[in-house]
A and B are shown apart, each in its own frame.
Chain A
Amino acid sequence: MGELETTTSPPRPARAPAPGKKRDDGRPPGQNERGADGRRGTGLRVVGTSLPKVDAVAKVTGRTRFADDLFLPRMLHCRMLRATTPHADIVSIDTSEAEALPGVHGVLTGKDLPTPYGILPVSQDEHALCLDKVRFIGDPVAAVAAIDEETAWEACRRIRVEYRELEPVASIEDALDAEDPRIHLYGDGHNVHKAVALEFGDVQAALSDSDLIQEDVFFYEGNTHLPMEQHAALADWTPDGKLTLWTSSQTPHYVHRALAQVLEMPPARIRVIATPNGGGFGGKSDPFNHEIVVAELARRTGRPVKICLTREEVFYCHRGRHPVLMWVKTGFRKDGSVTGMHFRSFLDGGAYGSYGVASTYYTGALQTVTYPVPAYRFEGLRAFTNKPPCGPKRGHGTPQPRFALEVHLDKAAEKLGLDPAEIRLAHLVEPGSVTANYLKIGSMGLAQCIHKVVEGSRWKERFRKLPYGRGLGLACGSYITGAGLPIYWNNMPHSGVQLKLDRGGGVTVFCGSTEIGQGSDSVLAYVVAEVLGIDPFEIEIVTADTSLTPVDLGSYSSRVTIMTGNAALQAAERARELLVQAVAEKWDVPGVRVAFAEGRVFDVEDPERSIPFAEAVVVAESKFGTIGTVGSYTPPRSPGRYRGAGVGPSPAYSYSAAVAEVTVDPETGETKVDEVWIAHDIGRAINPIVAIGQVEGSVYMGLGEALMEEMTYRGNRNVVHHHPSMLEYKSPTTHEMCPIHTYLIEDPDPNGPFGAKEVGQGPLLPVPPAIANAVYDAVGARVDEVPITPQKIMKALARKAKGEAAREGPARVPDFAWPDPLVVPPPWAGGDGRAIGDERAIGKGGVREVTRENQP
């Protein structure tokens, strides 16, 4: 069908419907009374208005081209043979029978692609196909390109692999046991991938100066993204030695770098186009085996090669939520303020590094950005196990500790006789402050959030007052608006935008950002439309194409709106400046009188004098030549100078508060979430209805993780996934979903475009702990782990009936010889962000020497 040669990106809607109100009702341009929260007259026309997304028409008509919708002439199909045993050396691989099968055009094994790779520079431990050993059931061992999928399957079945089985490592405890064979030969000890220890201030002294010491153990089970679209990729090789890869990826820039590395090709000869993701959630933000394999097969066969993973294979790709065992000990004063906190986390990382080093640091980074923690100690370790590798899933390493913290705080509040809402309202971090671990807070609207959900849920009248079986729970959360540091050390911008202004009035925005359903294409259009006073649906958006668009690091860590938005803002303002100069000269008026709105350029002191936007471009092009501008964004430097300081900094932090109402059946332990009230401090909603969609999607995903989702494996070390299927892996359907009351709190942040902060991940964080606290309010049972299944509630209730503590959850954490902590005096103890005695700390001066250790 070859429809590819012209389309560089999915077809744009010719003319989107114009259901949103146009400003033709006579009001002077720039009046926008209908912002969220009814705020008045922000002077914005597009930003703050609930318009459709620019790709809405393509998505509701089935026109959007996802990766598996692409077909090329003479295209071959690829299937991969995957390990059927969790931990084994590869003794031999015989592909002769497969190669002889008619219709087979290419067979690859590990030796064909020996160069290792991995998303983080500090853990390049993956191979496109296993080289010498397999590390989990599903680990790719060989790949076949054939005339059709059936032939490729059949060829895979004829590949003979001889394994020498090794003892599988199935759990964190197994990993800490020195007898088991090592999964990798690198890391911080036997099967410990990473071990970190950091201390900010004297926690021992703080704890001894407390009215209450609260100590708890929690477990957050792993779960997976389960995007509706399975991963798919199509590679094309042309005889002039150029490779094009279409792939469902959140990070085309990183895939581009990995391909250049493994295929040993100049990046300029590789073009990676990230097709719109049918859901990502962090599951498509690593460079993947199948992407490298189809690229190599295309190179060898000289023909296009496509792969689409089966649903089962998506479970083996994983890179989802790390199971995390956590211990926390916190000192409180009578008024509920924290004196000091000691937090330990144990991550079950799975078979490969992925983002794991960053995930480990994240489990200890954001404890300090919500409630003041004067003295803080964090120890965290990530274990290797023979399971599909874990990585970033919505919230990346912070929903687990947030669950622990918010339930821990609920318990302390009860002991101190304080209302859970009051204890939080009384002790919130100050906007603009720096935390013990040197994270710089920007705007902080959490108090407003708590008030909204307390009021909306009639918390004061109903908390601890509902009949047995019904309960309310409250929790808060805070999240980064983009990782402050790049994944590989460099001083270049994190996002770049190029604008092309056409003499016909058309504007095209080029940016490397990737649309994964969160609305990133639309944000670019709204920002540029606001600055240039034109209709966002007349702007052409070209994204996620490493040959056509300037680098954007990708759709992860909630960075897209703030970083691409600021880059687009700069490019648009530079373009407007050119138009202002040209038109001001033509009208012989000072530039300050030239304004833009409604697709026209006019003189503010004589509104009758106005010309169409297109004419303004003609005037500017006549004066300056072709009009094209660029904008870019680099986050501000963070105050932290210690090893590990690279994880947690962000240009801004979002805040959320949630109240969940549940009904628990004490006979069966079944929990139904009846209603959720959630308020999110977003700074400014670029498009309120799109932001609300992110909040509702986050609540949905948090509800699923709280009650039912789990990546579990068969016991006693035969590490077979329990349910790698859409049906058996439980996720909420329409029946489990509850009504949600969403409040967007707008307290614009100086670092965000128009004040905007993130909304894609933060609202998930308070939901699981709010549900856990609500279950306790309903039936007096504490389940200190997720998912909070009926069985666990029944166990807790059974203990309660016997007069024991009504709790189900982990009893203890394993012993581990933690490294001596890096001691970093907090700002209020005279610290300068550096660790005592760590010469390798980051030097002062302009160049940001980010040591390899602290990649986000």
Chain B
Amino acid sequence: MNGESRAFLAPVHKTLLEVLREDLGLTGTKHGCELGECGTCTVLVDGRPVLSCLALPAALEGREITTVEGLEGPGGLHPLQQAFAELGAAQCGYCTPGFLLVARALLDADPDPDRETIVEALGGNLCRCTGYLKIYEAVELAAARMRGENVEPARETLYGEG
């Protein structure tokens, strides 16, 4: 669990989502439907996005689970978190943990994804506030910075078109 091994006792039918929030106190993982339809509860299992509302801890013993709480490092925010904060890609912030983790898995696999790849990768996560565009721009900004480029947000992103 975010680099630490955690033990807990829970009924076998309790989902990973419920265990994270109710037994391990990791309330950063959210739920929007609890039926696998909205992507809000996405966590990483061995680096791969998984809907925690459909996953059973009993089947995940010994696996590496990453939640939003695990994104930060001792050095501070993950570049994705920094970019989401900078560009207002988190409005209400409820779907943000799910998007951050899917984006993290995407960038692990593809450090320089084009817009179409990002749209495809994030297609399973619903958001009602942003209209997705600032999320794409935040992923692109973070990816560039993670590739070592010293890049700032475009003027149109920050101030709109002329």
Contacts and interface: CB of A to CB of B under 8 A. Distances in A.
Interface in A816-855: none
Contacts of B161: 452, 456, 741-743
A420 interface: no
Interface string A329-351: 00000000000000000000000
Interface stretch (B56-64, B87-95, B105-113): B87-95
A229 B94 contact: yes
B128 interface: yes
Interface in B61-106: 67-69, 71-72, 76-77, 80-82, 84-88, 90-97, 100
Contact of B88 (A65, A66, A452, A689): A689
B129 A725 contact: no
Nearest to B72: A61
Nearest to A728: B37
Contacts, number: 211
Contacts of B100: 60
Contacts of A696: 130-131, 133-134
Contacts of B130: 693, 696-697, 700
- Interface residues of chain A: helix, strand, loop or mixed (majority): loop
Interface string B118-162: 111011111111111110100000000000000001000111111
Contacts of B136: 734
B29 interface: yes
Contacts of A121: none
A38 B96 contact: no
A57 B88 CA distance: 11
Contacts of B38: 228, 726
Contacts of B91: 517-519, 693, 697
Nearest to B155: A34
A807 B80 CA distance: 48
A456 B91 CA distance: 27
B123 to A, nearest CB: 5
Interface in A223-280: 225-230, 276-280
A37 interface: yes
Contact of A740 (B123, B127, B133): B133
A726 B53 CA distance: 14
A567 to B, nearest CB: 23
Contacts of A58: 93
Nearest to B138: A60
A311 B33 contact: yes
Size category of the B interface is 35 or more
A696 B71 CA distance: 27
Interface string A17-43: 101000000000000001111100000
A434 B85 CA distance: 42
Contact of A60 (B85, B129, B158): B85
Nearest to A15: B76
Contact of B123 (A16, A689, A734): A734
Nearest to A64: B93
A279 B94 contact: yes
A786 B55 CA distance: 38
Contact of B97 (A55, A62, A697, A737): A62
A731 B33 CA distance: 14
A281 B68 CA distance: 25
B88 A737 contact: no
Contacts of B80: 60
A688 B93 contact: no
Most chain B CB atoms below 10 A, which of A516, A517, A698 = A517
A37 B85 contact: no
B52 interface: no
B47 interface: no
Nearest to A696: B131
A132 to B, nearest CB: 33
B92 A700 contact: no
A52 interface: yes
Nearest to B97: A62
A30 to B, nearest CB: 19
B93 A59 contact: yes
27 contacts: A17-B76, A19-B85, A37-B160, A38-B159, A56-B85, A56-B88, A60-B90, A60-B93, A61-B28, A62-B68, A64-B93, A66-B94, A227-B128, A228-B32, A230-B31, A279-B129, A311-B34, A517-B92, A688-B158, A688-B159, A690-B88, A692-B159, A693-B130, A734-B119, A734-B123, A735-B123, A742-B161
Closest 4 CB pairs of A and B: A62-B28, A517-B92, A59-B93, A278-B94
